[in-house]
A and B are shown apart, each in its own frame.
Chain A
Amino acid sequence: MQETGTIRLFKRGPTAEFRLFVFVALALALLIVDARWTVLDPVRQAISVSIYPFQRLMFAPRDAVERFNDWTDAAALARTEKEALQRQRIELAQLSTHAAQLAAENEQLRRLLNVAEAVTQQAVAVEVLYEPPNAFSHHLVFNKGTSSGIKPGMPVIDEGGVVGQIVRVTPFTSEAALLTDDRVSIPVQVLRNGLRLIAFGGNVSGKVEVRYLTANVDLEPGDTLITSGIGGLFPAGLSVATVDSVIRDAASGFALATATPLSHPERYRHFLVLRVDVSAQEAKQESMSHGSQTE
């Protein structure tokens, strides 16, 4: 029975410690690479696409319930919406005549000044698939991706204004960072006086901050911030937030304003992704942090 050498009675792999070392090293390498570079995006996309059917499967009951609720509420909803729309139409009628007049005037002035004509934005309507449980970021995952023409960098809006920006896409899903995410920054303008600023996702959750203001800046609580269109990604004139407070620090000579976003990403399921041309930005962007370039 006994032959030269030892007989291996049991099949044994590497020791637990060795395996632990391999997996921990792999996990740490993944963490570091994913935090610094974007080379792992294809891996993430592949996994994301492969788990997508399971996600849809699990969300199917919820979607069915929502569809049923929508269906049963349809009459009441249509009535309230109709009333709201009528009210809005009356309010907007005056504005629209005014706007038409301004647009005509603007066009004329642009022609006079030889400015390239502003292109109208194409948009994709998306629906929230789920909200990733992640303590570090405020993101939403939508149900459409590159197959619908969505690319990283595109702005997301709802009827209140800017919601956020697409940061990651797969063929069937896309992920948006909300305005309140601290990695999003957006070039804004004060509606009252045209002051150009940059708004950042705040340290306070659910708020937007405007930092590095000079202490004598003309910004007051109640001011509305709109996109200035300067970064090139966000079209000009979308409302962003209203200023809550301006804290002027006499010691440092700077002021800090806190603002509440006008959009409500937590309330509705449908949003619009504006299909702006992001090809110029893609070259400039190195990592996932998006938003404004220099003003």
Chain B
Amino acid sequence: MVRRPNDSVPVSAYRRSQLSALQPIDSSPFKKPYSLIFIWFTLMLVWLISLLPWRLWEPAPDLLLLVIAFWCLHEPQRVSMLVAFAFGLLMDVHDSALLGGQALAYTLAAYGIIVLRRRLLRFHSVVQALHILPIVVVAEGLARLAYAWLSGEWAGWDWLWSALFTVALWPLADLLLQLPQRRLDDPDPGP
């Protein structure tokens, strides 16, 4: 905090009169980089949770995709399509599905996020979620199309619910994953 030069002057008058009031109160950079440990901790945690059997319910949200998408948006240098692809492959092996199915979906979703990144960062999380819905639907849809082409059957439309639930959880994920970035004295963290 920059110390005010004279406490006796009312704030409004002070702001009007002095040009120095235009300086930011806090000159430290607004965005600190996320800690690498935190990024990988969340990714591993969500991956481990995804190994549990709750995903047997077909419209279950894809939490792993959600977290990968979040990091692709905020830390594209560290979490990119390669990470998305690798986690997709791990899930394919766990689900004993054809290798590459989930990997394809995650890679496409990561690409969508990276392409729309500049635009997405201007909005708050609810509007971001509205942008991310088509990305997730297209990515999952294309992966399932490839899958259907190879296995000769279409698995139904329950995954649309899954995409919807995934995107509905975006604001919550945004809130939780940005918690370590918030400063305690900051009432409004801004966009």
Contact = CB atoms under 8 A, between A and B. Distances in A.
B53 A133 contact: yes
20 contacts: A16-B81, A16-B111, A23-B85, A23-B103, A27-B85, A28-B100, A30-B98, A31-B98, A31-B100, A44-B93, A47-B89, A51-B51, A51-B94, A54-B51, A55-B51, A58-B49, A130-B53, A132-B97, A133-B56, A168-B96
Given A27-B107, A28-B100, A30-B103, A135 B93 contact: no
A54 B114 CA distance: 30
Contacts of A20: 81, 107-108, 111
Given A23-B82, A35-B150, A135-B155, A16 B97 contact: no
Interface in B67-93: 80-82, 85, 88-90, 93
Interface string A118-145: 0000000000001111111101010000
Interface of B: 47-49, 51-53, 55-56, 58, 80-82, 85, 88-90, 93-101, 103-104, 107-108, 111, 114-115, 146-147, 150-151, 153, 155-156, 158
B99 A58 contact: no
User: What is the predominant secondary structure among interface residues of chain B facing chain A?
Assistant: helix
A204 B147 CA distance: 21
User: What is the predominant secondary structure among interface residues of chain A facing chain B?
Assistant: helix
B108 to A, nearest CB: 7
A23 B58 CA distance: 26
Nearest to B48: A58
Nearest to B114: A16
A28 B96 contact: no
A27 B103 contact: yes
Nearest to A29: B100
A51 B95 CA distance: 12
A23 B98 contact: no
B100 A51 contact: no
B93 A51 contact: yes
A48 interface: yes
B151 A34 contact: no
Interface of A: 16, 19-20, 23-24, 26-35, 40, 43-44, 47-48, 51, 54-55, 57-59, 130-137, 139, 141, 168, 175
A48 B99 CA distance: 12
Contact of B85 (A26, A44, A51, A55): A26
Contacts of B151: 35, 136
Contact of A28 (B90, B104, B155): B104
Contacts of A139: 96
Nearest to A16: B114
B96 A134 contact: yes
B98 A19 contact: no
Given A31-B150, A58-B52, A135-B156, A44 B99 contact: yes
Of listed B53, B108, B114, residue having the most chain A CB within 10 A: B53
A22 B75 CA distance: 21
Contact of B81 (A19, A48, A141): A19
B145 to A, nearest CB: 11
Given A16-B111, A43-B99, A55-B51, A31 B147 contact: yes
A34 B98 contact: yes
A202 to B, nearest CB: 13
B153 A136 contact: yes
Contacts of B155: 135-136
B45 to A, nearest CB: 11
